Structure 1
Amino acid sequence: MKIDLTDTTSSKINNALVQGRRAIGTPAIGMVLTLVIVTDEEHAYDALKAANEASREHPSRKLVVIKRVSRSPRNRAAARLDAEVRVGTSAGTGETVVLRLYGEVIDHAQSVVLPLLLPDAPVVVWWPVTSPLDPERDPLGALAQRRVTDTYAAEEPVSELTARAANYAPGDTDLAWTRITPWRSMLAAALDQQPGIKVTGAEVEGEDCNPSGELLAMWLADRLGVPARRTVSEGPGLTAVRLETKDGVITLERTDGALARLSMKGHPDRAVALKRRDTAELLAEELRRLDPDTVYASTLKYGVERLAAAAPAPAPRAAAAPQAKEPAEAEPAPAPSKKAAPKKAAK
């Protein structure tokens, strides 16, 4: 069921939610959290689709905040709030309210969202594309216990990690970090199979400007206390991790984005499932825990700059010896320069 409201208020939206639940015969729905999605019109459909799929595991009230900013400051639209209220099958598991903000209402988005939050339930704010520099100090982020961003969507993903580290607050997380959960689990399990083994170095291979690769390298350097370097491949995504030990190299390699091969000395090679996950799976994982992620915080604060400084420099290439020229090709000696003769002083 869908109810359209034009030039409305938060109070009318709440009434529409009650009306919708009564119409479909479910006056009480066991929702566990409120998910606030801050996006633009272009990415709203994909973000809401991912949230609806994640709501099968986490029934929630989804509030999609779309700020309709005018391209010309002189032609700023009049203050207005439009809404779409969806309940039933079109809203996934739970309820959905799409909020479109115009004019001065954009500057007070938190005042619109606050009356629509579920009482006594956690609040999660997710920025699928563009996120604020400091999520905790953002007016909408201040309402949440958990703030989800995606560094991969930034214009300069690796530089964005530095900003995330500088402005980190407990409750912040990043889908670029969530993407490497299977890699971290697999590498930890591989080291558990060889207790007492000492790792002396690490290498993470993947696409250029992939923040997940940087985070994985920082995690290895932070947890193992070894230099970790980043190398570039054609992808897709992360393609390999190599851990250097005195007994050989432990390699976890994935070339097709789906199936990986784990190789280590003394054990047969193993094929392991390591597929690239979609946004809905990543979001569902982040909604499973709402407490601060201390491992992410420690990894993030390790720093991209420190990672680059700790990585061993590549060996310099030997310069090619200059070849002697053939006598016939010898360059002629330069002719002596002719200087102008000094003029005689006039008598």
Structure 2
Amino acid sequence: MMKKLKDTTVGEVAKELSRLRSEEGATTSSRVLTLVILAEKGHSKTAVEAALKASYEHPSRIIVHIDYGQDADDRLDARIYVGGDAGASELIILRGYGSAAVATESLISGLLLPDSPIVAWWPHSVPENPAEHSIGKIAQRRITDSARAYAPLGVLEKLAASYKDGDTDLAWIRLTLWRIQIAAVFDQIEPSPVKRVVVSGSSMSPSVVLLGAWLGDRLGAEVHLRTTDVQRGLYKVELEREDGSIIIHRPGRNIATISSPGVPDQQISLPARSLADCLAEELRRLDPDEVYGEVLKSVVASGNIVVDVNVDDVHDEGADYTEVYDA
């Protein structure tokens, strides 16, 4: 069920939502949180689709605020979706013009679920300080995506400077499967110090930097980032030890090969994660991600990271990669 409201107010939107829920027979709410998506004009569709998919695991009230420009006359348009296309959620899309183009607590407070966690997500741009943003101040979790920024590596430094408990970034969550596989490798081999770590990927991928910082911090090893202009994210990790190198190489989007000294190569499943998968993982835990905070700060503080820019490398299936933020 969908309802359009033109030149409306948040109060009218809240009343219409209540009426639609009554028509659907929803006398009580089974939503577990409010997800506020702070989107940009022309770029909201992908974020909304990902949120709706994630809502099957985390039933939510999804509020999407789209900035339609502060130069326009003041106006607020809305669309409300309940049931059907809204999946397991209630979806409210707000199109703000003029003063309503700026997402603030006062603008959306009347639509928030009572006594439920609030998650703020910036899918396209990163605010100067997520925790000090009007919406970020009331959110238990603040999700950014540094890979979508024009200068993603510079954004990591900005995020490190402003980090507060509750901040997180999708470039970090995209690394979950890589981190699991790397940890599993160390469980299966004889202990030996790692002398050097080499992480290969796109020069535009913050995930490459974050993985290098995590490995360097955990292993106490020098880290080299072998970055190229290829339109893909992370595709290879090399761990150099006295007895030889351990290499995890994913030439495509799904299957990686683990090469270790003295044992046959092993193929593993290591798929590039979808936006919906990453968002669903973020919504599973709303407590501070302390490891992310430590890694983010080590990106700035570490003197052990060396960036080898535009290093020639041979990699297959490059045509399969069209997005530099894949990890």
187, 190, 213: which is aligned to 2:185? Answer: 190
Larger displacement relative to structure 2 (131-140 or 298-307) = 298-307
Against the structure 1 CA distance between its residues 311 and 232, is the aligned structure 2 distance closer, same or farther, given a 3 Å change threshold? closer
Against the structure 1 CA distance between its residues 180 and 107, is the aligned structure 2 distance closer, same or farther, given a 3 Å change threshold? closer
Taking the aligned partners of 2:300 and 2:248, their CA distance within structure 1 comes to 22
Residue 56 of structure 1 aligns with an amino acid whose one-letter code is: Y
Quote how far apart the aligned CAs of 1:235 are: 5.8
Of structures 1 and 2, the one with the larger relative CO (CA 8 A, separation 6+) is: 2
Q: Structure 2: any 5+ residue segments left out of the alignment?
A: 310-327
Taking the aligned partners of 2:46 and 2:306, their CA distance within structure 1 comes to 38
Quote how far apart the aligned CAs of 1:270 are: 1.1
Taking the aligned partners of 2:59 and 2:111, their CA distance within structure 1 comes to 16
Against the structure 1 CA distance between its residues 7 and 313, is the aligned structure 2 distance closer, same or farther, given a 3 Å change threshold? closer
Against the structure 1 CA distance between its residues 186 and 25, is the aligned structure 2 distance closer, same or farther, given a 3 Å change threshold? same
TM alignment of 1:83-94, pairs within 5 A: 83-94=78-89
Match in the other structure for 2:312: none
Q: Give the share of equivalent positions with the same residue, in percent.
A: 42
**SS class of match (2:302):** helix
Quote how far apart the aligned CAs of 1:83 are: 1.1
TM alignment of 1:39-50, pairs within 5 A: 39-50=39-50
Deviations 1:307-328 (A, max 9, x none): 5x544999xxxxxxxxxxxxxx
175, 199, 204: which is aligned to 1:204? Answer: 199
Match in the other structure for 1:343: none
235, 260, 267: which is aligned to 2:263? Answer: 267
Residue 41 of structure 1 aligns with an amino acid whose one-letter code is: K
TM alignment of 1:136-175, pairs within 5 A: 136-175=131-170
TM alignment of 1:1-347, pairs within 5 A: 1-70=1-70, 76-107=71-102, 109-233=104-228, 234=230, 236-304=232-300, 306-307=302-303, 310-311=305-306
**SS class of match (1:26):** coil
Taking the aligned partners of 1:310 and 1:283, their CA distance within structure 2 comes to 29
Taking the aligned partners of 1:105 and 1:236, their CA distance within structure 2 comes to 37
**SS class of match (1:105):** helix
Residue 270 of structure 1 aligns with an amino acid whose one-letter code is: Q
Quote how far apart the aligned CAs of 1:239 are: 1.2
Against the structure 1 CA distance between its residues 40 and 312, is the aligned structure 2 distance closer, same or farther, given a 3 Å change threshold? closer
Residue 276 of structure 1 aligns with an amino acid whose one-letter code is: A
Match in the other structure for 1:324: none
Residue 135 of structure 1 aligns with an amino acid whose one-letter code is: P
Taking the aligned partners of 1:86 and 1:312, their CA distance within structure 2 comes to 47
Against the structure 1 CA distance between its residues 269 and 88, is the aligned structure 2 distance closer, same or farther, given a 3 Å change threshold? same
**SS class of match (2:284):** coil
Quote how far apart the aligned CAs of 1:107 are: 4.3
**SS class of match (1:276):** coil
Taking the aligned partners of 2:203 and 2:300, their CA distance within structure 1 comes to 14
Is the contact between residue 81 and residue 92 of structure 2 (CA under 8 Å) also seen in structure 1?
A: yes
Against the structure 1 CA distance between its residues 253 and 107, is the aligned structure 2 distance closer, same or farther, given a 3 Å change threshold? closer
Is the contact between residue 160 and residue 300 of structure 2 (CA under 8 Å) also seen in structure 1?
A: no
Taking the aligned partners of 2:308 and 2:204, their CA distance within structure 1 comes to 19
Residue 257 of structure 2 aligns with an amino acid whose one-letter code is: R
Deviations 1:25-61 (A, max 9, x none): 2333311110000011211111111100110111000
Residue 291 of structure 1 aligns with an amino acid whose one-letter code is: D
Residue 160 of structure 1 aligns with an amino acid whose one-letter code is: V
Taking the aligned partners of 2:47 and 2:308, their CA distance within structure 1 comes to 41
Residue 66 of structure 2 aligns with an amino acid whose one-letter code is: I
Larger Rg: 1
Match in the other structure for 1:321: none
Is the contact between residue 69 and residue 103 of structure 1 (CA under 8 Å) also seen in structure 2?
A: yes
Against the structure 1 CA distance between its residues 235 and 69, is the aligned structure 2 distance closer, same or farther, given a 3 Å change threshold? closer
Taking the aligned partners of 1:301 and 1:244, their CA distance within structure 2 comes to 25
Residue 287 of structure 1 aligns with an amino acid whose one-letter code is: L
Quote how far apart the aligned CAs of 1:124 are: 0.4
TM-score scaled by structure 2? 0.89
Larger displacement relative to structure 2 (235-244 or 122-131) = 235-244
Residue 209 of structure 2 aligns with an amino acid whose one-letter code is: E
Larger displacement relative to structure 2 (270-279 or 97-106) = 97-106
Quote how far apart the aligned CAs of 1:236 are: 3.0
Residue 184 of structure 1 aligns with an amino acid whose one-letter code is: R
TM-score scaled by structure 1? 0.84
Is the contact between residue 29 and residue 94 of structure 1 (CA under 8 Å) also seen in structure 2?
A: no
Against the structure 1 CA distance between its residues 249 and 136, is the aligned structure 2 distance closer, same or farther, given a 3 Å change threshold? same
**SS class of match (1:104):** helix
What do you get for the CA RMSD once the two structures are aligned? Answer: 1.8
